[in-house]
Amino acid sequence: MCLALALPFYPKNIFLPKLWEVSPISRMLFPLTVFSNAVILVVALVVWIVSRNIYWRWKTSRRLFEGNQSKESVGKKILVLITGYKVPINKLEEKWHVYPLEDIEENVQNNPKRKLIVLPKDQGRNAIVDRLANAVKSGAIEDGVWASPGLPMLILITVGLIVALFSGDIIWTLVSLMFR
């Protein structure tokens, strides 16, 4: 809303896109262009995450969902697959903005029960990371747990704004290139 109040129209007196022309949508509804650019960046991020998961599977020859995770619902697996990737436990401990997408039950040591978490929360993050680290150190599970980068939409909107100012509307450009 602040962006819509600050820049309701494309600031053509200050910026001119370097790669393409300013779309009619950008001229009249600049915040919509910024938002659509951010959505395209989210799609690109999902493609990158899925590619990273495929590469990890190919490189390690390990299953993506191990133990009890293989019994989780298909929808939950798809959500985890497009929003997270496998990381070593030490990276999960070091980086505060990476959230675990799985948890482990403490009571079962010989046959640990790993479960997927679709909506990670900041509360309880450290306790989950500690449980996973203890399970990895004891050898109950292999190193490599599901985690998600905690990227807020505000960062993607900021990048979408920068792209809109210097390059224009991504969707308009793609549509224009298709019909040339």
Taking only the tens place, the pLDDT of each residue in 125-162 is 898 999 899 888 988 888 889 999 887 888 999 999 88
Is the confidence at residue 110, as pLDDT, over 80? no
Provide the residue range defining the domain that includes 121: 21-178
Label residue 99 by pLDDT band (50, 70, 90): very high
The verdict on residue 11 lying in a domain is no
The verdict on residue 122 lying in a domain is yes
The verdict on residue 67 lying in a domain is yes
Residue 56 burial (CB count, 10 A): 15
DSSP 39-90: HHHHHHHHHHHHHHHHHHHHHH---SS-GGGGGS-HHHHHHHHHH-EEE-HH
> For residues 7 and 31, is the Cβ–Cβ distance under 8 A?
yes
The verdict on residue 16 lying in a domain is no
| pLDDT, mean over the chain | 85
The per-residue pLDDT for 151 is 78
Average pLDDT on 10-23 reads 67
> For residues 113 and 68, is the Cβ–Cβ distance under 8 A?
yes
The verdict on residue 38 lying in a domain is yes
The verdict on residue 3 lying in a domain is no
The verdict on residue 7 lying in a domain is no
> For residues 93 and 129, is the Cβ–Cβ distance under 8 A?
yes
Label residue 2 by pLDDT band (50, 70, 90): confident
The verdict on residue 163 lying in a domain is yes
Question: Which of 12 and 94 is assigned the larger pLDDT?
Answer: 94
- pLDDT tens, position by position, 48-61: 999 999 999 999 99
- The total of structural domains in the chain comes to 1
